[in-house]
Amino acid sequence: MNLAAMDPQTYDAQLQQKRIKLEQAFAQFEPPEIEVFASEPAHYRMRAEFRVWHEGDDLYYYMFDKVLNAKVRCEQYLPASELINKMMLALMAELRPNPTLRHKLFQVDFLSTLSGEILVSLLYHRQLDDDWRAQANALKQRLSAEFKVNLIGRARKQKIDLDKDFVVESLEVNNKTFLYKQIENSFTQPNAKVSVKMLEWALDVTQDSRGDLLELYCGNGNFSIALAQNFERVLATELAKPSVDAAQYNIEVNGIENLQIIRMSAEDFSDAMAKKRSFRRLDGIDLDSYVCNTIFVDPPRAGIDPDTLALVQGYERILYISCNPTTLQHNLEVLSATHRVVRFALFDQFPYTEHMESGVLLERHPC
Ligand SMILES: C[S@@+](CC[C@H](N)C(=O)[O-])C[C@H]1O[C@@H](n2cnc3c(N)ncnc32)[C@H](O)[C@@H]1O
């Protein structure tokens, strides 16, 4: 974290620098002009985590500043949503004078939404007992006068949900509302408003699609749910069980009837598609019945492994969302032998940092 860089006055200039850097890094692939999607310059992060410092009777949130090489007290945090900032103040005012709730508390995580829900996780270096539970319940009651809040207590091998361990986000995508269950400690896009721009861009680049869609690394169905309208059917896979459970909920609550999610790693799924191995989880799913011209991938920072990349390369159109330009570059070095980049976007998910989220649409070279 570099707190000095977080200056809304310099936001536009910082984004231009990112655009230039991305343009230079990908020049070898001769992409069309980059489409740039800016963030809000403040209050754009829906998640934030803070360490907690104890100093006599005082108690405060802090972050580690890489440039100053020091911890910095945070009463408020510019990147975090307004809801998180409001909750930071209300929560700390409650925790500071409460011996039970502050005892050995070392971290607080916030997960907020545009829908107004917020989840607060309190992390401790001690086991949590009935006294903690009673105090936490009373705290939740008091906070509920002002917030749609849920509290979770965590300690080594212990997790106490006072009510539920998720929030339901509501995103307006091209004038349609989609609901998304987001589970504590599972992957969700951090910048909700930029996430909406990503969904709208993905809908735009796939609007003339034919047939079915195969999606790898689908998380809680963030893209799958929105993209289903552009395809006959969607088959999506994801490794993490909580995300798959959230995706099933999201299919139901959004009334999506042409989307099926399977819990499987991309590597195993590639083996199944290549008929190298068979898997019980695929019983009842006729992979050969899917007619997919398009594959959609949104892998973790490590990018796509070689076997999965070989599978991806077999499709006519590849839509690739990436949170790591370095691994995207490596994967494009392989894919560019058969495909060319026809759309290229920079989504500023992570203002004031080096991180860059990009979107690439590739089409197979004509033979
Ligand atoms: C960048 S996130 C994208 C999630 C989703 N597309 C979204 O927008 O929320 C990458 C996802 O890949 C999943 N993942 C990580 N390694 C995987 C693997 N080997 N096979 C399948 N999924 C994996 C993670 O659990 C995570 O949900």
Is the torsion defined by CA of 262, 167, 8, 88 positive or negative? negative
Instruction: Please compute the mean of the pLDDT values over residues 211-239 and round it to a whole number.
Output: 97
What's the pLDDT tens digit per position in 88-129?
A: 999 999 999 999 999 999 999 999 999 999 999 999 999 999
Where are the domains positioned within the chain? 3-41+191-364, 47-167
CATH class of 3-41+191-364: alpha beta
Judge whether 238 is annotated as a binding position: yes
pLDDT at 257 over 70: yes
DSSP symbol at 10: G
Choices 3.90.1150.10, 2.40.50.1070, 2.60.40.1840, 1.10.238.10: CATH for 47-167: 2.40.50.1070
Q: Does ligand 1 lie within 6 Å of residue 266's CB atom?
A: yes
- Residue 175 CA to ligand 1 center (angstroms) comes to 27
Element (H, E) at 50: strand 47-55
pLDDT at 356 over 90: yes
**Strand-pair partners of 112:** 118
Task: Give the number of residues written for the chain.
Answer: 367
What's the pLDDT tens digit per position in 322-346?
A: 999 999 999 999 999 999 999 999 9
Asked, colleague to colleague, whether 3-41+191-364 and 47-167 share their fold, the answer is no
What's the pLDDT tens digit per position in 143-159?
A: 999 999 999 999 999 99
Q: How far apart are CA 282 and CA 350, in angstroms?
A: 37
pLDDT at 243 over 80: yes
Q: Does ligand 1 lie within 6 Å of residue 243's CB atom?
A: yes
The chain-wide mean pLDDT, for the chain, equals 96
Phi and psi of 60, rounded to 5°? -155, 160
Exposed / middle / buried, residue 121 (Cβ in 10 Å: 0-12, 13-18, 19+) = buried
Q: How far apart are CA 1 and CA 4, in angstroms?
A: 9
What's the pLDDT tens digit per position in 261-298?
A: 999 999 999 999 998 998 999 998 999 999 999 999 99
What local confidence, expressed as pLDDT, does residue 104 receive? Answer: 98
- Residue 299 CA to ligand 1 center (angstroms) comes to 5
Question: Which of 283, 295, 367 is closest to 331 using CA atoms?
Answer: 295
Instruction: Please compute the mean of the pLDDT values over residues 34-44 and round it to a whole number.
Output: 97
- Residue 263 CA to ligand 1 center (angstroms) comes to 11
pLDDT at 5 over 90: no
Phi and psi of 115, rounded to 5°? -75, -10
- Kindly report the protein residue whose alpha carbon is nearest to atom 11 of ligand 1: 217
